[in-house]
Amino acid sequence: MSKYTIMICDHIHQKGVELLAKESDITVVNVDTLPKDKLLEVIKDADVAITRSSTEINESFVKAAKNLKAIVRAGVGIDNVDIDACSKRGIVAMNVPTANTIAAVELTMAHILNSVRSFPDAHSELKNDKIWKRENWYGTELKNKKLGIIGFGNIGSRVGIRAKAFEMDVITYDPYINPAKATDLNVTYTKNFDEILRCDIITIHTPKNKETINMIDKEEVSKLRDGVILINCARGGLYNEDALYEGLKSKKIRAAGIDVFTKEPATQNRLLDLDNIYVTPHLGANTLESQEKIAIQAAEQAMLSARGVSFPNALNLPIKESEIPPMVKPYLELTQKIAFLGAQANRGSISSIKVITEGEISNYKDSLLTFALVGALRASVGENINYVNATYIASERGVKIESIESPNQSGYKNRVTVKVATDKNTFKISGTVFDENVQRVVDINGFGLDIEPKGKMILFHNTDVPGVIGEIGTILSKHSINISDFRLGRDKHGHALAIIIIDDEATKETLAELKSINACLDIAYAIL
């Protein structure tokens, strides 16, 4: 019988350790107290490593872990895991994304209650200062107050259920869910973010990505209802901390309950100097029940992956050259990229994802579909989407998926097309791979193009009239944005599609100004 070594690099609940120790084919090596510089000397013996946030899974770690098959991050956050480094070595990186759900939900409710009733301050005045002044601590009731929930997934939806029990008026903004998920819970669904900004209390429960970082910034703070309360128990940086500080200092924001910060540990954060903020040191998963569940699930995943049975919640997929033909790998990468591009360009609740293949690559159309799902859903699901759970998540969200082979009439030896349909529109992107693995997008919504799927892209759809390119260049120049590439496709109906690759980030103001060009029919922005 084969024996597998599972190394515990950071402290986990004892129940997880006991679960591993019971297995006759598992050798448990617990090095959670070993200095991290010594860890690299022993990790070479591990088949699977269980870590938390204290261990950096970087190139040095991966290089030292010569026998490692998999890493299990005991928790949801993977900021300390270099996914690319793991993938290059064929190491599967996994996390435990749902074990702390209830803990995070209840912490959110605690922060809401603290913020409306000032419990920490009243407690401190009585306990530490021995002052009994009830008149100092008039709060407000949750009943009939409007709660805005940004992100209505696993955690946000459960916050909504509990808020309804307090007889709150709940409204949610989440462009990536079916509105019925909210309305079935008697929660109002909105596509207008400004409606959230008019709420009495706002809480955010989204992944951290380019779309959600600084989701509430200076502009959004100016639109907030006076005396609003903001809660963040999700990820640091979703609220811009400078804008939050100014809003709290001016009392535009009455109070904030914050569990997460842009930079942690946050002992020197100036938000701590304010008297109307209630803070906790990233306690979202810190309950005994949550820690036990995380440890048990991490141990179970470690055993399955050590034995090669499965890789639950895998965040990557090792590409083994011996098992996948060399010509297939760049098509897998290309398919994921163009699906991600399609989802960014066609933002909304995804209803269907279809992969259409032409040529020899059609033999791998089902694998290409998996990569398309990961690419298309990553914008809304974030880091929790992976090659193992992509089909399941698509099914759970009611997304229709399909892969079909089409007669090869494109003129390319192989071509892959991804169609992403949302409640707003359908976006269709085709790509191919030329010699030496040169990936190219060759068609977007019927406009013939030739462009590398890479970089910051503005997709500008317009009526094909003189002067448009000049107007685009003038606006980008005004905003100090350099154009690195400009590709144009035209159709037979008097329309054109420009793909503008830029060196600098395009702000909302820049995109709004481009959209105001008279010839503009639509505009989208994507980053690959």
- Show which residues are catalytic: 235, 264, 282
pLDDT band at 84 (very low <50, low <70, confident <90, very high): confident
Amino acid identity for residue 498 in this structure:
A
Q: Residues 284-293, buried b or exposed e (16+ Cβ, 10 A)? A: bbebeebbbb
pLDDT band at 1 (very low <50, low <70, confident <90, very high): low
* Range 376-399 average pLDDT: 80
- The Cα–Cα gap between 234 and 312 comes to 23
Lowest mean pLDDT among 318-322, 328-332, 376-380, 431-435: 318-322
Instruction: Give the model's pLDDT for residue 208.
Output: 84
Per-residue pLDDT at 207 exceeds 70: yes
* Range 317-342 average pLDDT: 77
φ/ψ of residue 187, rounded to 5: -110, 135
Task: For the beta carbon of residue 391, count every other beta carbon within 10 angstroms.
Answer: 15
Nearest Cα neighbor of 360 from 402, 405, 391, 395 is 405
Instruction: Give the model's pLDDT for residue 271.
Output: 98
* Range 451-475 average pLDDT: 95
* Three-class SS state of 158: helix
Q: What angle do CA 45, 49, 53 make, to 5 degrees?
A: 135
Task: Read off the pLDDT of residues 478-490 as tens digits, 9 standing for 90 and up.
Answer: 999 999 999 999 9
Instruction: Give the model's pLDDT for residue 322.
Output: 42
What contacts 193, CB < 8 A, 6 or more positions away?
A: 173, 220
Strands 400-405 and 415-422: unpaired
Task: Read off the pLDDT of residues 180-196 as tens digits, 9 standing for 90 and up.
Answer: 999 999 999 999 999 99
What are the Cα distances from residue 398, in Å, to 180, 353, 390, 446?
Answer: 11, 11, 12, 27
Instruction: Give the model's pLDDT for residue 320.
Output: 45
Per-residue pLDDT at 26 exceeds 70: yes
How long a stretch of residues is the chain? Answer: 528
* Range 444-471 average pLDDT: 95
Instruction: Give the model's pLDDT for residue 8.
Output: 98
Per-residue pLDDT at 526 exceeds 80: yes
Task: Read off the pLDDT of residues 104-114 as tens digits, 9 standing for 90 and up.
Answer: 999 999 999 99
| DSSP element (H, E) containing 201 | strand 201-204
Per-residue pLDDT at 259 exceeds 60: yes
pLDDT band at 154 (very low <50, low <70, confident <90, very high): confident
Amino acid identity for residue 484 in this structure:
S
Helix 119-127 × helix 101-117 angle, to 10°: 70
- In order of start, what are the domains of the chain with their CATH numbers? 4-98+289-306 (3.40.50.720), 101-279 (3.40.50.720), 319-440 (3.30.1330.90), 455-520 (3.30.70.260)
With a pLDDT cut of 90, the percent of the chain lying above it is 77
Nearest Cα neighbor of 213 from 248, 264, 279, 262 is 262
Per-residue pLDDT at 323 exceeds 60: no
Lowest mean pLDDT among 149-153, 233-237, 277-281, 383-387: 383-387
pLDDT band at 312 (very low <50, low <70, confident <90, very high): confident
Helices (H), 198-346: 218-223, 241-249, 288-306, 329-345
Of the ranges 68-77, 85-94, 461-470, the best mean pLDDT one:
461-470
Instruction: Give the model's pLDDT for residue 321.
Output: 42
- Residue 485's beta-bridge partner residues? 501
Mean pLDDT of the chain: 92
With a pLDDT cut of 70, the percent of the chain lying above it is 97
Query: What tokens were used for 238?
Result: 């979703």
- The Cα–Cα gap between 382 and 211 comes to 10
Per-residue pLDDT at 383 exceeds 60: no
Per-residue pLDDT at 159 exceeds 50: yes
Rg (CA), the chain: 25
Instruction: Give the model's pLDDT for residue 384.
Output: 64
